[in-house]
Amino acid sequence: MLCAKQTRAIAATRASRPAVAARRAVKVCAKYGENSRYFDLNDLENSTGAWDMYGQDSDKRYPGMQAEFFERAGDVLKRREALRGFVALGGLAAVVGYGLKGSGDARLPIVRGPQTSGESGKGGSVRGRL
């Protein structure tokens, strides 16, 4: 049981806290610029960012030999069958890699095997009764 002093202390802390139901509703709104505009068609660079900052496709930025290399390397993956084969080989490599290394690192019970000698059944070993 609480003494009178503890009861008064609990009542004082409850009185100092605001009631949950006394909260007022607040409208949340984010503003961009003035007049609550979120997207300005007249000022696209400030609305969406400067997309042309890094958009240089000239040969100065990418030398001709480098462009030719990536076009040839990516040409193999343009065909649907080649892309499917690449994804299948990648998936197969992931499964084999997990089987060789990952399952041992995860210390799964099926990989580790039984950790105890097991318990004998009633009246001797379980195998003797089978």
Query: What mean pLDDT is predicted for residues 43-62?
Result: 66
pLDDT tens string 78-122: 788 888 888 999 999 999 988 888 777 778 787 777 777 766 666
Rounded CA-CA distance 90/68 in Å is 26
Please indicate whether residue 16 or residue 74 has the higher confidence score (pLDDT): 74
Strand partners, 121: 124
pLDDT band at 33 (very low <50, low <70, confident <90, very high): low
Provide DSSP, 4-16.
HHHHHHHHHHHHH
User: Do the Cβ atoms of 129 and 123 come closer than 8 Å?
Assistant: yes
Segment among 2-11, 24-33, 114-123 with least mean pLDDT: 2-11
* Structure-block tokens of residue 81: 């069958």
The pTM for the full model equals: 0.29
pLDDT tens string 88-97: 999 999 999 8
The helix, strand and coil proportions of the chain, stated in percent and rounded to the nearest 5, come to: 55, 0, 40
Query: What mean pLDDT is predicted for residues 11-32?
Result: 62
The answer to whether residue 56 scores a pLDDT higher than 90 is no
pLDDT of residue 108: 79
User: Do the Cβ atoms of 105 and 98 come closer than 8 Å?
Assistant: no
* Structure-block tokens of residue 97: 């890699």
